[in-house]
């Protein structure tokens, strides 16, 4: 364990029923003075929460080191859901979070969601953590979703430090999962804990759904929600759903998000032999799988990003004049964006509205990689016997996964026939739907008030190019308004090398969550 982590300190912060205050300067705790007189207890509960907010903000500022330490502990668990070798880490991560939720007073349950086929084997899926905190019928109930799994990461990918060791540099906390999604998930925990430790009752009831398979298409989660939790009545008391698993558009202005693209992810497998072959010995005498794969993958998208699959744009929702207007007011600087990713040139003539539309409301196709191909340094002379090409399409409103999958399968089959290769080809897909919500809903206004309180500026109402497959399921299961409240900044580089969260975003994000709980608590029941 890193010397930075003081387990005893964390235990005090997260398990003590007694209010405590920690000093951020020396990371030691000192006794907390209860801020209100006894007569204050007689005030209406919602008023109490309002008066508690300044205390909560102060408490958060005084516990910065503890929050960093807890994130460090979470990042140190390499819960990579796509890799069978890390399945035990995923389970450990969920169990770790279960203990943390219990420590803030929630009742918790680990729900079994069965098996998946991974790397040709049947592998048990990590359980889903379901929790409940509070059941006051006079209060609103928010269902909070987050994920505890992460994308793969190796230092050799080009990280400046070990990906699973949280490191602070220049006010930024670097580590896999820091912004996607361990930082935001812990943010909820810290906000609840802050309410408790200043002696204020939570202004809302909370329900939690924390999974560890989001980065792998949330396998098993829809079934748990629709076939188990919904019939059991889990959603009957839910009034609002909130997810913090995306990012601001830029680096300075906060936003609230009302739309996500879906994802349709493909595995295109070609086999030419049962084993890899020496290219000197066998080259010229076999139909090579890799050449077939490159041929097919090259037929998917052109250099400007136009998807070449027949009819793929046909069902995309038409752009209405009212929607077009929304893009004008969004704070987004294409040149700053280009610089932040060090791209040579942006497509769509770098026009702001066009870039945003192609990120939010039009589909895009990306080629991700080839399993079975040689990728290490050096000049290995091998003909891979089997290769699996991976690509995905970010799908958008009005595009249904089944319809997109059929178009892709038909197109690949047609191109394969044109290729005339004798090799074995197969294609499979896993998909999640796009989601949009009504941003004029009082829930969004409440989140906007909370954001303004913390950041002193009106948030942009944004959409997001990424996907959170369960969002639309939560909308359907609850029948309630769903909102995305991002914690991290647009340059956090989730999924990439050197993923980070700014200390500022993490800490102000905790306050934002506390203020959001307060604002939703004020909404009429
Ligand atoms: C937006 C969210 N934080 C995220 O990163 N989602 C993933 C979901 C995914 C990955 N594979 C399949 N789905 C994403 O948008 O890539
Ligand atoms: Zn992610
Ligand atoms: Zn995420």
Q: How far is the CA of 241 from the centre of ligand 2 (A)?
A: 19
Would the annotation count 278 as a binding residue? yes
pLDDT interval class at 49 (50, 70, 90): confident
Write the pLDDT tens digit of every residue in 422-443: 999 999 999 999 999 999 999 9
What pLDDT, on the 0 to 100 scale, is given for residue 17? 29
What pLDDT, on the 0 to 100 scale, is given for residue 120? 84
pLDDT interval class at 292 (50, 70, 90): very high
What distance, in Å, lies between the first and last C-alpha atoms of the chain?
46
466 lines ligand 1 (CB under 6 A): yes
Write the pLDDT tens digit of every residue in 253-287: 999 999 999 999 999 999 999 999 999 999 999 99
Q: Annotated catalytic residue: which of 73, 89, 103, 149?
A: 149
Cβ neighbours of residue 213 under 8 Å, at least 6 residues apart? 81, 90, 125, 126, 147, 149, 219, 220, 221
Residue 506 bridge partners (DSSP): none
Residue 269 bridge partners (DSSP): 388, 426
- What SS3 state is found at 503? helix
Per the rule left: phi > 0, alpha: psi between -120 and 50, beta: everything else, 468 is beta
Is-cis flag, bond preceding 68, omega within 30? no
pTM of structure: 0.90
Distance of CA 264 to the CA centre of its chain: 16
467 lines ligand 1 (CB under 6 A): yes
Residue for token pair 């895009």: 364
Would the annotation count 368 as a binding residue? no
Query: Does the pLDDT of residue 509 top 50, yes or no?
Result: yes
Query: Which two structure tokens, joined as six digits, stand for 140?
Result: 């609103």
Residues in the chain: 525
Would the annotation count 40 as a binding residue? no
Q: Annotated catalytic residue: which of 214, 288, 492, 499?
A: 214
More confident residue, 272 or 15: 272
Is 214 tagged catalytic?
Answer: yes
User: What residues flank ion ligand 3 with Cβ within 5 A?
Assistant: 180-181, 245
Q: What is the ipTM score, two decimals?
A: 0.98
DSSP 266-329: EEEEEESSSS-EEHHHHTTSS--HHHHHHHHHTTSB-TTS-B-STTTTTTSPPPPHHHHHHHHT
465 lines ligand 1 (CB under 6 A): no
Query: Does the pLDDT of residue 396 top 70, yes or no?
Result: yes
C-alpha dist (Å) from residue 460 to 187, 384, 445, 447, 453: 21, 49, 12, 11, 14
Would the annotation count 7 as a binding residue? no
Q: Average pLDDT in the 413-421 region?
A: 98
The DSSP letter of residue 331 is: -
Write the pLDDT tens digit of every residue in 463-502: 999 999 999 999 999 999 999 999 999 999 999 999 999 9
Of 37-51, 85-99, 129-143, 172-186, the poorest mean pLDDT is in 37-51
Q: How far is the CA of 215 from the centre of ligand 2 (A)?
A: 6
Q: How far is the CA of 237 from the centre of ligand 1 (A)?
A: 28
Write the pLDDT tens digit of every residue in 150-202: 999 999 999 999 999 999 999 999 999 999 999 999 999 999 999 999 999 99
Among 263, 390, 434, 470, say which to mutate for ligand 1: greatest number of ligand atoms within 8 Å of CB: 263
Of 32-36, 80-84, 179-183, the poorest mean pLDDT is in 32-36
Residue with CA nearest ligand 1 atom 10: 215
Residue with CA nearest ligand 1 atom 9: 215
% residues pLDDT > 70 (the chain)? 91
* All domains in the chain, ordered by first residue: 60-260+435-522 (3.40.630.10), 262-317+361-432 (3.30.70.360)
Burial class for 24, CB neighbours closer than 10 Å (0-12, 13-18, 19+): middle
- State how far the Cα of 14 lies from the Cα of 32, in Å rounded to an integer: 15
Atom of ligand 1 nearest to the CA of 464: 1
């Amino acid at each position: 364990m890193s010397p930075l982590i003081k387990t005893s300190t964390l235990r005090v912060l997260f398990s003590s029923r007694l209010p405590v205050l920690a000093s951020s300067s020396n990371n030691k705790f000192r006794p907390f003075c209860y801020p209100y007189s006894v007569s204050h207890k007689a005030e209406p509960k919602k008023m109490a929460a309002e008066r508690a907010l300044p205390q909560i903000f102060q408490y958060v500022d005084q516990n910065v080191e503890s929050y960093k330490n807890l994130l460090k502990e979470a990042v140190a668990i390499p819960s990579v859901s796509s890799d069978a070798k890390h399945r035990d880490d995923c389970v450990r991560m969920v169990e770790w979070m279960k203990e943390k939720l219990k420590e803030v007073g929630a009742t918790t349950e680990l729900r079994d969601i069965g098996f998946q086929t991974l790397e040709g084997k049947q592998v048990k899926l990590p359980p889903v953590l379901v929790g409940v905190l509070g059941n006051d019928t006079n209060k609103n109930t928010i269902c909070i979703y987050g994920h505890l799994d992460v994308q793969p990461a190796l230092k050799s990918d080009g990280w400046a430090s070990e990906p699973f060791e949280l490191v602070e540099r220049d006010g930024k906390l670097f580590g896999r999962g820091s912004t996607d999604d361990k930082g935001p998930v812990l943010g909820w925990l810290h906000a609840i804990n802050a309410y408790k430790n200043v002696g204020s009752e939570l202004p809302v009831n909370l329900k939690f759904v924390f999974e560890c398979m989001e980065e792998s298409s949330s396998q098993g989660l829809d079934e748990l929600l629709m076939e188990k939790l919904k019939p059991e009545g889990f959603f009957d008391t839910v009034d609002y759903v909130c997810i913090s698993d995306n990012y601001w558009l830029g680096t300075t202005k906060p936003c609230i998000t009302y739309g996500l693209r879906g994802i349709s992810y493909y595995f295109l497998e070609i086999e030419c032999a049962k084993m890899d072959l020496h290219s000197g010995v066998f080259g010229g005498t076999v139909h090579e799988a890799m050449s077939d794969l490159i041929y097919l993958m090259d037929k998917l998208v052109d250099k400007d990003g136009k998807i070449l699959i027949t009819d793929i744009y046909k069902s995309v929702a038409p752009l209405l004049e009212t929607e077009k207007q929304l893009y004008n007011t969004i704070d987004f600087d294409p040149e700053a964006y280009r610089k932040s990713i060090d791209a040579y040139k942006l497509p769509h003539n770098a026009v702001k509205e066009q870039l945003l539309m192609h990120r939010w409301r039009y589909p895009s196709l990306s080629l991700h990689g080839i399993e079975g191909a040689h990728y290490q340094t050096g000049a290995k002379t091998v003909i891979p016997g089997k290769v699996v090409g991976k690509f995905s399409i970010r799908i958008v409103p009005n595009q249904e996964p089944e319809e997109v999958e059929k178009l892709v399968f038909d197109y690949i089959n047609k191109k394969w026939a044109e290729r005339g290769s004798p090799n074995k080809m197969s294609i499979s897909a896993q998909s999640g739907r796009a989601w949009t919500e009504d941003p004029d809903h009082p829930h969004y206004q409440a989140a906007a008030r909370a954001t303004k309180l913390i950041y002193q500026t009106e948030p942009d109402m944004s959409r997001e190019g990424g996907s959170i497959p369960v969002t639309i399921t939560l909308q359907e299961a609850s029948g309630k308004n769903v909102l995305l409240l991002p914690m991290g900044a647009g340059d956090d580089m989730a999924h990439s090398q050197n993923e980070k969260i700014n200390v500022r975003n993490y800490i102000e994000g905790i306050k934002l969550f506390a203020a959001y709980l307060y604002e939703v608590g004020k909404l009429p029941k």
